[in-house]
Copies of this chain bind each other. A is one copy, B any other.
Amino acid sequence: MTVITHAFSVRVYYEDTDHGGIVYYANYLKFMERARTEFLRDAGIELDELESVSGIVFAVTEAHVHYLNPARFNDVLIVDSTLIEVRGARMTFQQQIRREAENIVESEIRLACMDREGRPRRIPAELRRKIQPELTPAAAVREPA
């Protein structure tokens, strides 16, 4: 089975670091959210249109993050994103942040499709059609390399 991975590059600036000289732990979640936004954009989905046209937003419901190595000011990081589940109102990503081949952060992020009032909404058929080709079944991702 093919694993479909979307790579997004992030430069670490002063704003991202803390006084320990490394990237502040919450800021990796910003990098991951930027990468998910670009993943969806590349699949033809613009989140602002989705909201204004279909009244739909995605909210993170779970984040599981493993911090393996620190990143530092001026590093160029790659966020690898793999969509492993699209079901009902739910979408799940595995995201890995690396500096070249060195793993920095590994995560699994679950999102829920909602209307503007926060009620769960089945992912609309058209949106599903756009992201289906980007989906890698979780089984494939978790197989040993």
Contact = CB atoms under 8 A, between A and B. Distances in A.
Contacts of A27: 26
A48 B72 CA distance: 10
Contacts of A25: 29, 33, 59-60, 63
A17 interface: yes
A62 B59 contact: no
A26 B17 CA distance: 13
A80 B11 CA distance: 19
A55 interface: no
Nearest to A35: B13
A29 B47 CA distance: 24
A124 interface: no
Given A19-B17, A33-B26, A64 B64 contact: yes
B19 A18 contact: yes
Interface string A78-96: 0000000000000000000
Nearest to A74: B48
A14 B60 CA distance: 12
